[in-house]
Every structure is written in structure tokens, then in C-alpha cells.
Chain A
């Protein structure tokens, strides 16, 4: 039992922190206001190895471990949550399943440019009527010779306004329910593959969220990921890992808000004192630090479990549930400490406050995490 980053992880943290401060932070407020997708620095992040942190170098990635990945997502999210989720999706939801299920040929063609950050990936699972109940998806994949023909629509797909490659989940037979679902690697420029308009959201405004439309999109059978009918398992196991990335994002958002509040509390004077002299504010700061430490440790534990143990579903669900709820509380307190100033767009805390909200929803709502956790502990003991 020891929690100390190793030399390589510290080096990565320092590199990412510098990149975040110099490249990401200066434009964070602006892209939040405009919704502009930060494609340029996604490619720059790729050059630092951040597009495929855990992908071995031979496949274009940085060849590092899950802890390093969490550190990277936290550091980026600490200044810009949109950039955090863009990287998290590319790493966790696209590169990771390709690493685990793709054929050598698929890895060469698709994984290498994604892990290097030359191309951007998205994960197309959710549909208008299939959110938490992913097995109810309606997008169909009909086999025709050496191809599948895909029809349907997807919603709330992060990165999709600018993605080059989509991992699309579709069913070969809706009657088979989850056993009919298969996964396909689909270039976004395939004929019949259309994108909707950019969703205007409460937070993570620059994450390129949009709808996708598939109209007779022809996908060669050799672009199916895994076997036919294996798609649901691929999706669920991928989300297990994705949850760790989102939990790390929540920790980063909360850390950014906490640091701003700690600084503000020592500068702002009321009643003749810096407000940090008052117990009410000290208690807020103490609670924030305590919950942040607990959440970060749960994230590290889930990452460590994924790296070292066979199972990590429970740890990942606990980390995501706790970290995302923690981020609501911490960003809320950070805003409260800033008072009226915090409610304006002159400060960053209102952005952190808005951005935190989604972490309780995407890649499995808090309610789904609780069901996953209850299922495990009732089965286990």
C-alpha cells in the first residue's frame, strides 16, 4: 500500500500541466462561450501522447499505464473540462476497445492514427430511445455479401462534429436484444453518414456533441469489431473503463474550482479580514479538500485495479459515482465562496460549476452506477 506517482507519471503530469496552462487554459473561456471544437490542440495533445495514453507505442500511443492516463485527464480537465472529455472519449471509448478487440489489420488502419491524435474518434452507442437501456437500440446492421448496411440515428455523441472515425453499435436482429448488437468501425466520410447540428448544452460546451444519422451506410464486414453479437459486451466493458476517465475528469474539474476558491478566499476581504479567516469558509475549504482526496484515491484505485486485477467494474462504478457527486458539491461551494463574482462569467468557477453537472450523467448515470454497485455487492458477499 503506497500512493505516490512514479517518476514517469510525475514527468507526464508536469508536461500535461504545462501544456494545459500554456495552450488549453488561455482559450478555455472562449471556446466555452462559442462552442468551438478545439481541434488544433487535440492534434497537439496527440503529439504529447495524450490521445492514446495507454496504447503501446507500436500502435501510435504513449505506452503508459492507467494511473498516468487518469493524471493526464485530471490535469487537462482542471483547466478545461471540454478538452478533458474529448481526450477521455478518444482514449477510453475508442482506442481502448480497439486495443482489446481489433484485428491486427484493423489496429494498423484505425488505431494507429487515433492513438497518435492524427485522427479523432467518437463512440456511437446512445440513441433517442436507448440511453441507460442501451440494449434497446434500434440502429440496424443488415448483412449484404461482404458488407453490412447500417440504418438509424444516434444522439449526444461527444466529438462527433469533428470525428474522423466512429465506433457504431447496431443490431443485426432486434429480436435478439443485446445478443444481436455488433460494433463497427466506420469512417465518418462514408456515404450516407451524416452529422446533426452542434448541441447547445449547459456545460462542456466545446466537446462537439451532436446527432449522427446513418442512411444505408455500407460498412465492409472486415470493419466489424469482434464477432457478430459481441457488441453489447464490447460496449459495456468499454464503459467500465470509460467511467474511470470520467471520474478523473470530475476530479480535475473539482480541483480547478477548489484552487480558484482557495486563492480567492485568501484575497477577498470582508469585515476587515480575508474571508479565509472565517470558520465558515475554512469548513468549506476543508470539506472540498477532503472529498477531493477521497475521490482521487478512488480513481487511482479503480485505475490500479484495471491495471493489475482481473475485475474493476465495482471500483470504476464507485469512483465515478463518488467523484461526479463530489464535483457537484465542490464546484457549488467554490462558487459560493466567490459570492456574486462567482456567478459572473468573469471568473472560471461558474464554468466549472456548469461543466461538473454532466459527469453524473454521461458514460452511465449515477443511478446506473448505483445499480452496478448494488448488483456486485449483493452477488459478492
Chain B
């Protein structure tokens, strides 16, 4: 037991290695991919080779077996350069591989994890529907038992990686009359008959990541591909989101860091009233605020990641996600303000970040849901 904010040697090394990969390989085409809505399949393949897509999967299933903090450092470094690649990676790791590794039978793990962990296949998570966002228990998708199979019917919405993923974790109701206790979780091969992927959504940001509707029509899934027990899906979904919040918080911290770095370099170069604008107190105060909130978001994230196996983990992850995503939005706003008219033009990276960052307070649990989670912990403990 100790209060120790230092990273281990392995964590420092990993961070350094990923930073180099992000700057050398991912950075160059970022703007073009955003402009043309192009998914960087090749970069994801390379990320897979580096072990970045199986960070939370044990070595016996082909993963790299990293601790949660190492994983967060990786998502932060990737998202600093390209949040689209960051979310693609976060979704595959956090909401597909993680629940399979955590709740899957030995057989399911052997069947699905090696491909996910190596990046040969990407993962997706089919929970949200058009009419059930924060209120996941209100979903309409069903899974009807038919001998050794379940038959899935329903429409899922806003599914990250839909169209590029090879494996989905899907939530559907095996007992529609039982509310959220009637929900079960399945691991589904994305190429299964009966699955149709909608046209990619045109989004405000994260345009180099793919988001689309996924519909299931009489889609047969072998019963052995159920995760956990029948009716246990809602708990699996909540546990998964508790954990995945760290990934989104890390993504937000990465964007926050980038917004600060861009503001620092711009304000040192931009001259107004005869001096670099960094010499004006108004600008200095904005920089100081961005830097302080970044430090706060990062310690919340790191602490939540290090404490992932403690009883406070759920509350800490929700705090990290809500704070980091909101702080990142403020920082990106301030950074664009410092960039002035230049920042409003896509030639400057901050314009893309301004669009990309917006979703962090929304997906994988809105800020409002995070606050309800925090309050529930406070009022029941």
C-alpha cells in the first residue's frame, strides 16, 4: 500500500512505443481520412500486430494480458493523434473482447478471442437500439430458443465498428416479459446469415470510425455462444460499461492533451500586439486552466484504472468518464478559441478535434448516466 503516482518501467516503455507508432504511422493521414470518411483498416491491422487489440485478453488466448492502466495509456496515446482509431480500438478491446474473456465459457474464449486479440477480426457491441439508449432495459430485440440455437430478431442502432467488425457481443431478450432480467448476451459471428449492416452514419465527428445500424432477422446463433447464463445479459452489459468507461475517459484525456499541446504551440507562434499571444495573461489563464483540468482528469483516470478491482471501482470509473469527457470538451473549446479564425478552418487540427470530442460525454453512458451511477454509490454506501 502506498501513494505512488509513478508508472512502472513496462508502462513507460509501452507508452513510449505507442506514442511513436501513433506519431509515425497514424498521424500522417488523419485529416484526409476524416475528410473522406475512410476507415483505416491497414492501421488497425498494424495495431493488431502490436498487440493493441487484445490488451485485456490473456496470453493463452493470444492476447497481450495488460493491466487496465496500461490499456488506458495506450488508448490515450492513440486518441491523442486520432480519436477515430482510438474508439475503434477501445470498442474492440473493452466491449467485445473484455466481456468474452470475463464471462465466456472456455469453448467460446478459444473460438473467438484469438482472432480478436490478434486484430484479425475487430469487435463490436450491440446493445443500443433506436428506442433504448440510456434505458437499455427497454430494448425490443429478442432471442428465441429453438433446439440448440437461439434465433435473434431486432434492430440495433449506432453500433461502432458495424461493417468492419467480425464479431459482435449482442444483447437481446430471451424473456421479453421479464424486463431487464430477461436480457441475455450472445457472441455472434458478424457474417452469420440474417445480419444486415445499415449505411454508415454521417457523424459530427469520429469520421474515420464506422458507425451503423445492425439488424438481425431470424439470425441463428448456437446456444453455446450465450455469454453467462440466460437472463444474465443486463448484468454483463453493466459490468462491461463500468469497465469500458475507462477507455472513453482515456480517449478524452488523449484529446485534452492534444488540445493543450496545439494551443501551446499556436500561442507561442502567433503574434498579436507585437508579442506572441502566449505572453498575454488572458491566454496564459486559459492554458493554465486546460493544464490543471487535464492533470485532474488524468489522476482520476489513473486512480480508477489502478483501483479496478476494488469496491469503489464503479464510482471511480464513472467519475473519471464524466470529468474527463467534460473537461476535454472545455479544453478543446478553449484551444479553438486561442486559435481564433484559424481554428475554425479544417486546415488546423483543432477544428477536427472540436467535432471529435463532442461524443465523449454521450457514448458508453452519457454524463447524466455517470452522475446517476455516482449518486447511487454515494446513497447506498
Chain A contact residues, CB within 8 Å of chain B = 1-7, 9, 67, 262, 266, 276, 279, 282-283, 285-287, 289-291, 293-295, 297-298, 300-301, 303-305, 308, 315, 318, 321-322, 367, 369-371, 373-375, 377-378, 381
Contacts and interface: CB of A to CB of B under 8 A. Distances in A.
**Shortest Cβ-Cβ A-B pairs, 8 listed:** A374-B284, A282-B375, A370-B288, A286-B374, A297-B299, A286-B371, A373-B288, A294-B296
Given A262-B379, A286-B378, A297-B296, 7 more contacts: A3-B306, A4-B2, A9-B3, A373-B287, A373-B291, A373-B292, A377-B288
A67 B261 CA distance: 30
B335 to A, nearest CB: 13
B77 interface: no
Interface string B310-325: 0000011001001100
Nearest to B67: A1
Q: Is the interface of A mostly helix, strand, loop or mixed?
A: helix
Nearest to B371: A286
Nearest to B6: A1
Contacts of B306: 1-3
10 contacts: A5-B1, A262-B378, A276-B375, A293-B319, A294-B319, A294-B323, A322-B292, A367-B285, A374-B284, A381-B261
Contacts of A304: 3-5
A283 B376 CA distance: 10
Contacts of A7: 1
Interface residues of B, number: 48
A84 B6 CA distance: 29
Given A286-B378, A290-B319, A322-B292, A6 B2 contact: yes
A18 to B, nearest CB: 21
B72 to A, nearest CB: 10
Contact of A266 (B278, B285, B372, B379): B379
B299 A294 contact: yes
A297 to B, nearest CB: 4
Contact of B288 (A3, A9, A369): A369
B303 interface: yes
A377 B291 contact: yes
From B299, B319, B370, name the one whose CB has the most chain A CB atoms within 10 angstroms. B299
Nearest to A380: B264
B177 interface: no
Contact of A298 (B8, B299, B372): B299
Contacts of A378: 264, 268, 278, 284, 287
A304 B2 CA distance: 10
A9 B2 CA distance: 9
A4 B300 contact: no
A3 B371 CA distance: 23
B295 interface: yes
A375 B265 CA distance: 14
B197 interface: no
Given A370-B285, A374-B284, A374-B285, A2 B371 contact: no
A370 B289 CA distance: 7
Contacts of A283: 368, 371, 375
A301 B264 contact: no
Which of B6, B302, B368, B375 counts the most A-chain CB atoms under 10 A from its CB?
B375
B259 to A, nearest CB: 13
A257 to B, nearest CB: 14
Given A290-B322, A304-B5, A377 B287 contact: yes
Nearest to A381: B264
A3 B3 contact: yes
Contacts of A289: 315, 319, 374, 378
Given A289-B378, A297-B300, A5 B3 contact: yes
Contacts of A1: 4-8, 11, 69, 302-303, 305-306
